[in-house]
């Protein structure tokens, strides 16, 4: 029985015009089960009885086949792969082999587009086919070397409108940007830099892409002034404006907006009203 999705060591049983047929080394029966290694993959000088390291998968006609090429992922592993195409039934990923890897729609997390990079695992489905899945939380470690306040880098690997953005910190550790900390639109595959808000007892990290309040004020003030300039000197956001409106317009919380506006007021750059601010 072939273990699809794995690199294994097989023995050359015989050759044909199509390539070398390989068998398990301990199968010495008269008619052993064999798998084809096409000619283009046969190392020069290979002879009957030689043992070869090969990866087993299915070809375009769904037949088991061997290759000496090394895929970017093996069954049960984790890798970040690029999306080549998206269809109604699923997406197709580049995993380093001629036949693209299928990512079923039900195994996706969030909308995908060609060119994105996604974290996936490889599994064998009920039909004995190799498929990818974006349900990879169990693969991330819970022993990060980070503490509250540390800056980290990672990649968004899933999105949930009710929870937030899931981040693979260093590609190794589980991180989450809670939805209340999301002030810009992210998509799967985006690289992010964030601050550790909390290291949870289970080792998972809560993150924020924003700096501490005092460090963020200058950046927020610059954003407010840019929008004020674009609005011709009068911006329809003020002291009493709704938080949802502020977030939609400036991608920041109401408290961040009020801190930034307060700093600009103190610097004599604006005047603040309930429903607007004006450039001085």
Residue-wise pLDDT tens digits, 205-214:
999 886 544 4
| Domain 140-208: CATH architecture, name and number where available | Beta Barrel (2.40)
Does CATH place domain 78-137 in 3.40.50.720?
no
So where are the chain's domains? 7-67, 78-137, 140-208, 213-279
Structural class in CATH, domain 213-279: mainly alpha
Q: List beta partners, residue 140.
A: none
Q: How confident is the model at residue 213, as a pLDDT?
A: 45
Q: How confident is the model at residue 217, as a pLDDT?
A: 55
Domains 78-137 and 140-208 share a fold: yes
Q: What is the pLDDT of residues 134-182, one digit of tens each?
A: 999 999 998 999 988 888 999 999 998 899 999 999 999 999 999 888 8
| Proportion of the chain above pLDDT 70, given as a percent | 96
| Dist CA 166 CA 182 (whole Å) | 11
pTM for this entry: 0.71
State which of 20-24, 160-164, 232-236, 257-261 shows the largest mean pLDDT. Answer: 20-24
Supply the CATH classification number for the domain 7-67. Answer: 2.40.50.140
Q: How confident is the model at residue 242, as a pLDDT?
A: 86
- Averaged pLDDT for residues 30-35: 88
Whether residue 120 contacts residue 112, with contact meaning beta carbons closer than 8 Å, is answered with no
Whether residue 117 contacts residue 189, with contact meaning beta carbons closer than 8 Å, is answered with yes
| Mean pLDDT (the chain, rounded) | 89
The C-alpha torsion from 28 through 30 and 35 to 40, rounded to 10°, is 90
């Amino acid at each position: 029985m072939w273990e699809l999705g794995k690199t294994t060591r097989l023995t050359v049983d015989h050759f044909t015009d199509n390539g070398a047929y390989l068998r398990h080394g301990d199968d010495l029966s008269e008619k052993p089960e064999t798998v084809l290694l096409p000619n283009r993959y046969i190392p020069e000088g290979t002879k009957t009885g030689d043992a070869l390291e090969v990866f087993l998968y299915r070809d375009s006609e769904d037949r088991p086949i061997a290759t000496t090429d090394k895929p970017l992922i093996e069954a049960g592993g984790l890798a970040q792969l690029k999306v080549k195409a998206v269809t109604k039934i699923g997406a197709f990923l580049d995993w380093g082999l001629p036949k693209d890897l299928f990512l079923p729609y039900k195994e996706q997390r969030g909308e995908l587009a060609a060119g994105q990079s996604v974290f996936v695992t490889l599994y064998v489905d009920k039909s004995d086919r190799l498929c990818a899945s974006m349900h990879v939380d169990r693969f991330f470690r819970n022993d990060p070397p980070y503490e509250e306040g540390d800056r980290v880098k990672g990649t968004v690997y899933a999105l949930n409108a009710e929870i937030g953005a899931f981040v693979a910190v260093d590609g190794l550790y589980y991180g989450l940007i809670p939805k209340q900390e999301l002030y810009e639109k992210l998509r799967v595959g985006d690289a992010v830099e964030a601050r550790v808000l909390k290291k949870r007892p289970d080792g998972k990290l809560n993150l924020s892409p924003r700096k501490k309040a005092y460090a963020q004020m200058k950046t927020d003030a610059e954003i407010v002034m840019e929008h004020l300039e674009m609005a011709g000197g009068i911006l329809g956001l003020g002291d009493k404006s709704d938080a949802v409106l502020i977030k939609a317009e400036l991608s920041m919380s109401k408290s961040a907006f009020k801190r930034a506006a307060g700093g600009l007021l103190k610097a004599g750059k604006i005047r603040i009203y309930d429903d607007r601010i004006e450039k001085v």
